[in-house]
Amino acid sequence: MTRPAVRVILVRHGETRENKEGIIQGQRNTALNEVGEEQARMVGERLKAEKIDWLVSSDLQRAVKTAEAIQMHHADTKLETDRELRERNMGDMEGRPGRDLRGGQMSGGETVGGFRGRVVGWWKRRVVMRGDGLKTVVVCTHGGVITTLVEALVGSRRAGAGAGAGAGAGVRITRSCPNASLTVLEVGADGTATVLVYADVTHLSLTSDSSADFQPHTRDVT
């Protein structure tokens, strides 16, 4: 029997003080600020009509609090946390201004390859190789995780993240992934993933229809 396609909604956590001030967070357990809390509420409103089969989050509180705002509308859905969904470990750069990373040497953190391997490995084990009939998965995580995963899926069949991937018609993919944005992937029976929506933030607009269906779009989010 062919496994039905699985839709995966990747949610970046709401804003933190460190996001606003340009501070490198990495795996520091930073909290949402007031803007981030409101963004999380809007994400929850946006996803309240979804039938969520699995809700999973990074165990860092900025992601967990965003996930809890979603779970509020899905009382029968258990929230699972997974440390494999944490942001890249930035070693001694954590807590420093982002400009320091451009000219400095990082010590004690994850390499780019190591981080990519962790993210893609999680995807293979927890999404591609599952066979328990999931239809809609919501993953609350971090900007680095989302951009790294999408880059691996779309940019390289050698990433081992299934049988390759592509972007749906009209979808523009950039390296930017704003706070509280939504990225939607569809995973076929063979593990092939298609990016249907990338870094959508229309739900954060006070004039947007929070119950509208997801639509592929071409808006540049850089």
Helix (H) or strand (E) holding 35: helix 34-46
- Tell me whether residue 13 is annotated as binding: yes
User: What pLDDT tens digit does each residue of the chain (222 aa) get?
Assistant: 566 789 999 999 999 999 999 999 999 999 999 999 999 999 999 999 999 999 999 999 999 999 999 999 999 999 999 999 999 999 999 999 998 887 667 889 999 999 999 999 999 999 998 867 889 999 999 999 999 999 999 874 333 344 344 555 567 787 889 999 999 999 998 888 999 999 999 999 854 444 445 544 333 222
Q: Nearest to residue 148, comparing CAs of 125, 174, 180, 116?
A: 116
The distance of Cα 152 from the centroid of its chain, to the nearest Å, equals 14
- Tell me whether residue 15 is annotated as binding: yes
- Tell me whether residue 74 is annotated as binding: no
- Tell me whether residue 99 is annotated as binding: no
- Rg of the chain over CA atoms, in angstroms? 17
User: What pLDDT is attached to residue 105?
Assistant: 73
- Tell me whether residue 29 is annotated as binding: no
Domains and CATH numbers, the chain: 6-23+32-89+112-204 (3.40.50.1240)
Q: Rounded to whole angstroms, what are the CA distances from 87 to 38, 82, 94, 144? A: 22, 11, 11, 6
Sheet holding 136-141, edge to edge: 79-81, 54-57, 136-141, 6-12, 182-187, 193-200, 165-167
Catalytic residues: 13, 87
